[in-house]
Amino acid sequence: MRISRLYTTIALTVGKTLELDEENGHYVRTVLRLKKDAEIILFNGTGGEYLGTLVEVSRKTVLISLSRWIERSVESPLQVTLGLGIARGDRMDFSVQKAVELGVNFITPLITERCQVQFKGEKKSQRLIHWEKIVQHAAEQSGRTSLPELSEIESLHEWVNKQQGLKVFLDPYAESTLADLAPIDHQVTLLTGPEGGFSDSERVIAKAAGFIPVRMGSRILRTETASLAALASVQILWGDFGVSPLNKNSVAESD
């Protein structure tokens, strides 16, 4: 039987008995419906995970005794940064969730010219908290022990000039494909647009910042499909989807 995994910000130590916060306690008690003496795995995103046993499950508290540290990592040798044009509703949630499953290391939600989402008042901070929860749950489900970093919402114009490694943006009208390129220092930065794609001026800005336009096949993909296709492609080409580890001979050296 698969053991449930749970992310927590609490410091973890073998031999320690810890009390879960109210939100995680509710999740264990009500959603997972775990009982006393059930095993559970905890991780805090710093690498590795801890096997624990529930020693108390009540309406007031959930206590877990940690018995063993497990040294385990499922991280790709390829470091992937994703600049994700903000899409509406479930499309954005889906893109964030699947990006975590596909091994992304850094995610930045981007405001672009054709972004149809408006952030008024506290809505920006609320959306970030919402996406952070999606990142955490996706890491729990996918078995990751390192938590991808979700950055503050930025404008595309500010973000593009701070990126490193091989830099590409998805453009259905581009001539190049990912197979024509190679990562730099095991790093790839992907830039994907919102519904409606990038404007002409954003294409100019991205190219000026060193981003190479690439197409994902002959068809125009929806925003949530494009980011997933690109992430899967870079993991197949240079990451951990292949039989062999990253082929260092194919990796371009930085200047």
**200-250 pLDDT, tens digit each:** 999 999 999 999 999 998 888 888 999 999 999 999 999 999 754 444 333
Residues making up the chain, counted from first to last: 255
- The mean predicted confidence, pLDDT, of the chain is 90
Q: Measured between alpha carbons, how far is residue 136 from residues 34, 57, 165, 218 in Å?
A: 19, 22, 26, 34
Answer whether 209's CB lies under 8 Å from 160's CB: yes
Once rounded to an integer, what is the mean pLDDT over residues 5-26? Answer: 93
Both structure tokens of 101 = 């499953």
Q: What is the CATH number of domain 5-70?
A: 2.40.240.20
Backbone angles phi, psi at 79, to 5 degrees: -90, 120
Q: What is the CATH number of domain 79-250?
A: 3.40.1280.10
Once rounded to an integer, what is the mean pLDDT over residues 101-116? Answer: 92
Q: Where are the domains of the chain?
A: 5-70, 79-250
pLDDT band at 253 (very low <50, low <70, confident <90, very high): very low
Answer whether 107's CB lies under 8 Å from 149's CB: yes
Q: What is the pLDDT of residues 166-198, one digit of tens each?
A: 999 999 889 999 999 999 999 999 999 888 888
pTM over 0.85? The answer is: yes
